[in-house]
């Protein structure tokens, strides 16, 4: 009996704005979850979610909590606010 292995993608989702980190070539763009799922022909059932902050929301939260604002890692791009 043959077995099939199915790879389930894990998506990094901003816990504030619900944008998804969409790796495109060597950089990461934050796009709306529905646009990402449509572009890759996926449903929420077919992915695993990992919550984080996108650079824009992190900067807002850091300022609100009086935390140091750090620059995004290399390859991470900011989405339009």
pLDDT at 25: 57
pLDDT of 14: 93
pLDDT of residue 28: 79
- Confidence (pLDDT) at 5: 66
Backbone angles phi, psi at 39, to 5 degrees: -65, -35
Q: Which residues pair with 14 in a beta bridge?
A: 52
- Residue 24 backbone zone (phi > 0: left; psi -120 to 50: alpha; other: beta): beta
pLDDT at res. 80:
47
Q: What is the pLDDT of residue 40?
A: 87
Which segments of the chain have a pLDDT < 70? 4-6, 8, 25-26, 71-81
């Amino acid at each position: 009996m043959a077995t099939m292995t199915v790879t389930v993608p894990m998506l990094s989702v901003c816990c504030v704005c619900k944008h998804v980190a969409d790796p495109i070539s060597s950089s990461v763009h934050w796009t709306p979850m529905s646009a990402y799922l449509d572009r890759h022909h996926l449903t929420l059932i077919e992915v695993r979610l990992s919550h984080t902050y996108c650079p824009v929301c992190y900067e807002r939260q850091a300022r609100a909590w009086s935390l140091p604002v750090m620059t995004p890692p290399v390859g991470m791009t900011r989405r339009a606010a």
